[in-house]
Structure 1
Amino acid sequence: MDASSEFQDTLPVSSDVLLAQLKDWGLGYMLHEHVPLRTVEDAKSVEAAMEVSGEEAFRVKNLYLRDKKKRNYLVTLEQDREIDLKALGKQLGVGGLSFGSADRLLQNLGVRPGAVTPLAMINGAEAGVRFFIDAAVKDADKIYMHPLVNDRTVAMDVSALWVFFEKLNVTPEMLELG
C-alpha cells in the first residue's frame, strides 16, 4: 500500500474524515488533488498550480523522528531548510535522533511514508508525539500540507492550523533555526 487516497480507508483516520472534521470545526482550506508526492522535489513540480498571488506561503517538509529513549517527534520545517539531526537533537534536548520506521509512523501518526503532515497530530496527540514547527511559519499567511495522504494538499490559513491544534490540545513547540 502507498500513501495515496486510494488506501485512505486503511488509516486510523481517513483523509476524508479529517477533511470533514476540519469543516465541522469551521476551519477553511482549499483542497488540491494531484499525483502522489513523495519528496520535496516532487512537491515543487506541482506547486505552481497551487500558487495564490500575493500570499506568503509556508511549504513544508516533515520528519518523523525517535530518540534513543524511543520517544516520538514530528518536526515540520520550511521545505528548503537544511537540517542536521545531531544539532536538532541538541536543540530539542534529546539524544540519538533517528528516523522512525514506517510501522511506527503508522502506529503513532496514522500515516504512511510520503504523507507525514502536521495534520497527523490528529492521531499523534493521543500517542504522545511531541510536535515541533519551524518558527518561520509565523511569517506566513498560508501553510500547505497533506491531509494524511500524499495525492492531496490543503492550503490553510496558519491561524486555522493553530485552532486545529487547540482542538486537539496540542501545543506546537517553535523551533528557532538560523
Structure 2
Amino acid sequence: MTATRTELMAYLDALGVRTSTIEHPAVFTVAESAALRGRIAGGKSKNLLLKDKKGRLFMLSAEDDAAIDLKRLHEKLGAQGRLSFASADQLRAVWGVEPGSVTPFGAINDRDGLVTVALDAALMAHDTVNFHPLENTATTAIAPGDLIRFLQATGHEPMVGAFADPAVAEAGD
C-alpha cells in the first residue's frame, strides 16, 4: 500500500523530524519550479529514479542546477553498466509516486529496500533541503540530518558523495 502525504508527515512527526511545507501549483520539471525560487529557502533539488543494466534501482538527489553525467554516474554509485531512467510503472510500483514527483520521501513506500538512495554532498551542505512530499503540488523543507534519519528509519542507508560532475557543470556554464 502506498503512503499518502498525510501518512508521510505523521511518520516524520513520529520520528521527531521538523519540516515546513508550502503549497504551490503542480510542477513537473526543475524548469517549472524556477518560479518558486523566491518562496523556498535552502537547497533546491532534482531527483532521479535510475536503473542499471542488472535492473538495480537508484534514487539520486542533487542540487536543481547540478550537471549529472549519466554516462559516468554508474562508476560513482557502484552500479552495473550505464544508468537509464526507470519507467513510470517502476516509479509508481516501487517508489509510490507519479512522474514529476520523484523524492527521497518515496523511501517510505519501498518496504523491500529495492532502491539505493544517493544524496549529492553539495545539496546536503545546505541548512535545509527541499523535496516534494510524495506529490508535486507542495515542497517540504527538512534539515539534511533529519532526511538521513528518515531514510535510515525506512531501511535506506543513503550514500552521500560527489555525484554531480564538476567538469560537466563547468562546461554547461
User: CA separation in 2, counterparts of 1:82 and 1:75?
Assistant: 12
Q: Assess if the C-alpha contact under 8 Å between 2:74 and 2:81 holds in 1.
A: yes
Deviating above 3 A after TM superposition, structure 1's stretches of 4 or more consecutive aligned residues are none
Q: Assess if the C-alpha contact under 8 Å between 2:48 and 2:61 holds in 1.
A: yes
Alignment correspondent of 1:19: 9
CA shift for structure 1 position 125: 5.0
Output the aligned Cα RMSD: 1.5
Q: Under a length normalisation based on structure 1, what TM-score does the superposition of the two structures give?
A: 0.86
User: 2:78 matched to 1:79?
Assistant: no
Alignment correspondent of 1:141: 127
CA shift for structure 1 position 49: 1.8
- 1:113-152 aligned within 5 A: 113-124=99-110, 126-152=112-138
Q: Assess if the C-alpha contact under 8 Å between 2:127 and 2:143 holds in 1.
A: yes
Gaps of 5+ in 2: 167-173
The aligned amino acid for 1:36 is A
> How many residue pairs align between the two structures?
163
Match of 2:95 among 91, 97, 109: 109
Percent identical residues: 34
User: CA separation in 1, counterparts of 2:148 and 2:69?
Assistant: 27
Match of 2:74 among 73, 78, 89: 89
Q: What do the CA deviations read for 1:72-96 (whole angstroms, capped 9, x no partner)?
A: 1101111101111111012223203
Alignment correspondent of 1:156: 142
User: CA separation in 2, counterparts of 1:138 and 1:102?
Assistant: 27
User: CA separation in 1, counterparts of 2:113 and 2:147?
Assistant: 20
Q: Under a length normalisation based on structure 2, what TM-score does the superposition of the two structures give?
A: 0.88
User: CA separation in 1, counterparts of 2:63 and 2:110?
Assistant: 20
Which segment drifts farther, 84-93 or 73-82?
84-93
Gaps of 5+ in 1: 1-10, 52-56
- Look up the SS of the partner of 1:45 in the other structure: helix
User: CA separation in 1, counterparts of 2:124 and 2:142?
Assistant: 13
CA shift for structure 1 position 116: 0.3
Q: Assess if the C-alpha contact under 8 Å between 2:113 and 2:156 holds in 1.
A: no
CA shift for structure 1 position 119: 0.8
Match of 1:175 among 150, 157, 161: 161
Q: Assess if the C-alpha contact under 8 Å between 1:143 and 1:157 holds in 2.
A: yes
Taking a change above 3 Å as real, the CA distance of residues 125 and 174 of structure 1, as seen in their structure-2 partners, is farther
The aligned amino acid for 1:88 is L
